Amino acid sequence: MQDKLKLAMAALLLAGGVVGFYLVPESQGLLRALAFVAGLALSAGALWLSAPGKALVSYAQESVAETRKVVWPERREALQLTGLVFLFVLVLALFMWLVDSGLSWFFYDLLLGRG
């Protein structure tokens, strides 16, 4: 029950920041941004105090730890694979253009005689 109250409080604080942003006149841009950032920060704080918020923080920490374990490709290998992907996309686009042009020629010029 306490977690639901904390989550509701976080949602209300976030909504309050958004409402505060729109209630402050446009001429006071810094105050508008401050209202939104304050609502966002207070909302994040209230969320962090709840069990789902703590679970989210724990999940994020574990995710960062897992990304450190990944063996990332070298720059040269990444560039080669990126080039290969671009080449494949180009070849596939050319193939699709040829098929489209061929079907268009077949149906419009040969069958319907509208060429």
At 106 the pLDDT is: 93
Please tell me whether residues 87 and 113 are part of one structural domain.
Answer: yes
Successive 10-residue mean pLDDT values, the chain, 115 residues = 88 93 90 93 91 92 95 95 98 98 92 77
Query: Which of 34, 55, 70 is the endpoint of a domain?
Result: 70
Assess whether 2 and 28 both reside in one domain. yes
Cβ contact 52:7 at 8 Å: yes
Q: Are 17 and 40 in contact (CB under 8 A)?
A: yes
Query: What is the domain extent for residue 59?
Result: 1-70
Tell me, yes or no, whether 77 and 107 share the same domain. yes
Q: What is the pLDDT of residue 115?
A: 61
Number of domains composing the chain? 2
Same domain, 97 and 108: yes
Distances 51 to 3, 10, 58, 96 between C-alpha atoms, Å: 6, 13, 10, 52
Distance CA 107, CA 115 (A): 9
